[in-house]
Amino acid sequence: MNSRKPVKRRSYNSARRRAQAEETRAAIIRSARDLFVERGYGHTTMSDIARSAGVSVETIHKSVGTKAVLLHRAWDITVGGDDQDIVFHERPEVLAIRSEPDLAQRLMLHAQFSTQTAQRIAPFQFMVQSAAGTDPAAAAMLEEMGRQRLTGMSVMAAEAAETGQLAVSEEECRDIIWSMTDGMLWHRLVQERGWSNDRFADWLGRVWVDRLVKKRR
């Protein structure tokens, strides 16, 4: 009688296939993001993305979906910096900012973080804005990007109000930060006017502190 236990290969192979599928999906989304920014959304075809990712167009449809879905997934990795499915304001680096008890210091940290993310966000924002006038998917994406940021800034503003250190209304705090963190202001001052990222982050933080934080007596 053979007492040897059968080798359990199925679960291993299944896990390996899932990992490979995730790698393929991530490669497709990264390729789409890079091509959208480089060529523009309207000038990038599914065949272009497939060729860049080393897969077939059919694989893209099965793994991710349509070109419009790819645009959404490309935004997710652009704003987050990776493909982890975590809401932006729940990411560890953002939670660290939110936990700072001194509002002035919190806003300075937020300005530094916003400057870092602007380097990824601004090119994508320009691309979507450029396509939004003629492409419904891009127009919908532009609105969604604004809504997502507004949600995140609403959380930040509510927590700023809870500190008792806010000099303006919660709504005004939300709107000011929301309007200054889409990457456009960073692009104008850093890319067009030649400011350094450090200078921009420091200036942005000080503007927020001066406008939003109660003066200490």
CATH number, domain of 65, equals 1.10.357.10
- The answer as to whether 47 is a domain residue is yes
- 133 and 210: one domain? yes
Please tell me the total count of domains within the chain.
2
Same domain, 59 and 39: yes
Separation of alpha carbons 92 and 101, rounded Å:
16
Residue range 135-193, pLDDT digits in tens: 999 999 999 988 988 998 999 999 999 999 999 999 999 999 999 998 889 999 999 99
Output the average pLDDT for the chain. Answer: 89
**136-162 vs 67-80: helix crossing angle, rounded to 10:** 30
Domain that holds residue 12: 7-84
Q: For 11-45, what is each residue's pLDDT tens digit?
A: 667 778 888 888 999 999 999 999 999 999 999 99
Separation CA 4–CA 16 (nearest Å): 25
pTM of the entire predicted model: 0.79
* 1 within domain boundaries: no
Q: Is there a single domain that holds both residue 159 and residue 196?
A: yes
142 and 215 both lie in a single domain: yes
